[in-house]
Amino acid sequence: MAKTAERLQQLGSGIFSELDELRKQKEQEGIKTINLSIGSPDLAPADHIKKALQAEVDSSENYGYPLTNGMPEFREAVAEWYEKRFQVPLNPKTEVLPVMGSQDGLGHLGLAYLNPGDIALVPDPGYPVYTASVLLANGVKYPLPLTADNKFLPDLKAIPKEIAQKAKLMFLNYPNNPVAAVADMEFFAEAVAFAKENHIVLCHDLAYSELAYDGYRPPSILEVPGAKDVAIEFHSFSKTFCMAGCRLGFVVGNQEIIAGLTIVKSNIDFGVYKPIQKAGIAALTGPDDWVRENAAIYQHRRDILVDGLNSLGWQVEKPKASMFVWAPLPWGYQSSREFALDLLDKAGVVVVPGIAFGEQGDGYVRMALVGEDRLLEEAVERIGKAFASYIS
Ligand SMILES: Cc1ncc(COP(=O)(O)O)c(C=O)c1O
pLDDT for residue 18 is more than 90: no
Q: Which CATH architecture has domain 6-44+290-390?
A: Alpha-Beta Complex (3.90)
Range(s) of the chain covered by CATH 3.90.1150.10 = 6-44+290-390
Minimum-distance ligand 1 atom for the alpha carbon of 39: 14
For residue 133 and ligand 1, the question of a CB distance below 6 A is answered with no
Distance CA 100, CA 302 (A): 29
CATH numeric code, 47-285? 3.40.640.10
The beta strands (E) that lie in the chain are given as: 34-35, 96-99, 119-124, 140-145, 169-173, 201-205, 231-236, 249-253, 324-328, 349-350, 352-353, 364-368
pLDDT for residue 14 is more than 80: no
Which pLDDT tens digit goes with each residue over 178-197? 999 999 999 999 999 999 99
* Confidence band for 8, pLDDT divided at 50, 70 and 90: confident
* Other residues' Cβ atoms within 10 Å of the Cβ of residue 73: 15
Kindly state the average pLDDT of the residues 228-233: 98
Distance CA 363, CA 335 (A): 7
Closest residue CA from atom 3 of ligand 1: 207
pLDDT at 116: 97
224 residue type, one letter: V
Which pLDDT tens digit goes with each residue over 49-83? 999 999 999 999 999 999 989 999 999 999 999 99
Range(s) of the chain covered by CATH 3.40.640.10 = 47-285
68, 168, 215, 318 from 97: Cα distances, Å: 8, 21, 30, 34
The pTM of this model reads 0.97
pLDDT at 211: 97
Helix axes 336-347, 14-28, angle to 10 degrees: 10
Best of 16, 42, 103, 173 for a ligand 1 pocket test (most atoms within 8 Å of beta carbon): 103
Distance CA 248, CA 41 (A): 14
pLDDT at 11: 86
For residue 180 and ligand 1, the question of a CB distance below 6 A is answered with no
* Confidence band for 390, pLDDT divided at 50, 70 and 90: confident
For residue 101 and ligand 1, the question of a CB distance below 6 A is answered with yes
For residue 95 and ligand 1, the question of a CB distance below 6 A is answered with no
